[in-house]
Structure 1
Amino acid sequence: MLSAVPIPGNPWPHDMQITVEDCPHHLRELLWLREAHGLQPEGDDLPPRLVETPERAAIPVDDATRALWEDAWVRIWRAVAAHAAREHDPQLFDQLQGTQAGSPQREALLREIVGPDWGDEFDRDAFQDPSHLDWEQTSMTAFIASRPHDLENSPELRDLDALIPAWRAGLTKIVAIPCQGEYTRKLGPHAILITDATRADSDKYRRALNSFN
């Protein structure tokens, strides 16, 4: 929501713009990979397990590959999360239209827009596994079905009095992942990472927003 001028009777500050990324594709891929392949990455503040547990990967990897994946998972997760926290620059898309296919300039702009992902270091064929395709289809069907309800009952409008102080403290982006329980982590100076469960519950969401102040 954003307005050029104040609107009488509207409690939403006219100059407050909040982006909610509630379907972060590359983060979702990493969450699926961790569970479907039974990875046990070690690190602080790792996200909880998925709400909808995927089937184990139909095409397992050998122990050596799994060890490589476990070692890389946290580092890639943090890089992808950091990119998810950034606001997209619409000028990058305009610049992209003026570049030639296959040119270094186009590749650099695509990289800036898309950000890092698992395929930068490992084969993306892992995401063609039937487990991932089934999990993604099921979760996306549920996500699409929830959209009308979410738009009518926006958590941001519901907890606006907690959102405004967080925005004044610098919050501009909220990234939500489909994981269990209450989980909140600050992603740089302008974003937070939370679970869908946190955002859905007013008390939990308020705690998350208050943590940004």
Structure 2
Amino acid sequence: MVISVDDHPLALNLLLFVRHCWSIAQEVDIPELAPAPDPGASQMPASASIAEWTARWRIAWDRAWDWYRIQDPDMQNHPTQEIMRQVLRPGQELHPLIPPLWTTEYDWDGLDPEAFNNWHGDLIPTVPNDAERRNLSDLITAWESGVDTIIVLPYAGYFANRISHRHVAVSAATRNEPTTYSRALRETAP
């Protein structure tokens, strides 16, 4: 049994940072962030309207989740330099080995990279390394149902969602507590 824990999902965290700093896409049902990022010098660029930035963000958010759905568990390859050059150009299709990044499409325009890096660095989990071991029976059940990756997001409170056959997203707060993590693993099983 192998379960991966993506406790630092760069593509998703970068999008959460953009949404928070620019106060866009507030209609999207996303829990409060914990900790909330300091936007630093981030400000929405005037190169597009709020509606346009919101639409761009929603597309990027959907693509970030779609990336998890196209991953192939049998792919053990690492991307070549040629694949990296291709995928890291704006407007590319999703590639199963490389997540889509907001900065690939829009660079760091309107974002404070230092503020993001500080916040993203602070998201290093406080969970002991035995979080999965403490919930082993529920984790085994989740694995038997096809789950092989847990994605940890910087959300406040309880959050759990099975986003694909293989992926379950939980909040850091959920994973931090054995009882809520156990509940999340049970509730997301088919």
Which residue identity does 2:170 align to in structure 1? I
Deviations 1:137-191 (A, max 9, x none): 4x15xx27x4xx622xx11100111111111111111000111111111111111
Structure 1 position 23, deviation (Å): 0.5
> Normalized against structure 2, the TM-score is what?
0.80
Is the 1:51–1:178 contact (alpha carbons within 8 Å) kept by the matching residues of 2? yes
Structure 1 position 126, deviation (Å): 3.7
Could you say what secondary structure the match of 2:128 adopts?
helix
Worse-matched range after superposition: 169-178 or 106-115 = 106-115
RMSD of aligned Cα (Å) = 2.7
Which residue identity does 2:177 align to in structure 1? D
CA distance in 2, matches of 1:59, 1:124: 9
Report the counterpart of residue 91 of structure 2 in structure 1: none
Is the 2:150–2:170 contact (alpha carbons within 8 Å) kept by the matching residues of 1? yes
Superposed, which structure 2 residues align to 1:91-170 within 5 Å? 91=77, 93=78, 96=80, 103=82, 107-108=85-86, 112=95, 113-137=97-121, 139=122, 143=124, 146=126, 150-151=128-129, 154-170=130-146
Structure 1 position 78, deviation (Å): 2.2
Could you say what secondary structure the match of 2:170 adopts?
strand
CA distance in 2, matches of 1:186, 1:109: 27
* Higher helix content, 1 or 2: 1
CA distance in 1, matches of 2:116, 2:7: 19
CA distance in 1, matches of 2:49, 2:179: 42
CA distance in 1, matches of 2:40, 2:156: 21
- How many residues of Structure 1 are paired with residues of Structure 2 in the alignment? 180
> Normalized against structure 1, the TM-score is what?
0.72
The runs of 4+ residues in structure 1 deviating greater than 4 Å are 108-111
Could you say what secondary structure the match of 2:168 adopts?
strand
CA distance in 2, matches of 1:134, 1:78: 25
Distance 1:88 1:29, change over 3 A: farther
Unaligned segments of structure 1, at least 5 residues: 1-15
Structure 1 position 29, deviation (Å): 0.5
CA distance in 2, matches of 1:60, 1:33: 9
Distance 1:199 1:125, change over 3 A: same
Aligned-pair identity (%)? 24
Structure 1 position 90, deviation (Å): 2.5
Report the counterpart of residue 18 of structure 2 in structure 1: 33
Report the counterpart of residue 34 of structure 2 in structure 1: 51
Could you say what secondary structure the match of 1:124 adopts?
coil
CA distance in 2, matches of 1:117, 1:51: 22
CA distance in 1, matches of 2:40, 2:48: 16
Unaligned segments of structure 2, at least 5 residues: 89-93
Distance 1:123 1:131, change over 3 A: same
Give the counterpart of 1:197 among 167, 173, 178.
Answer: 173
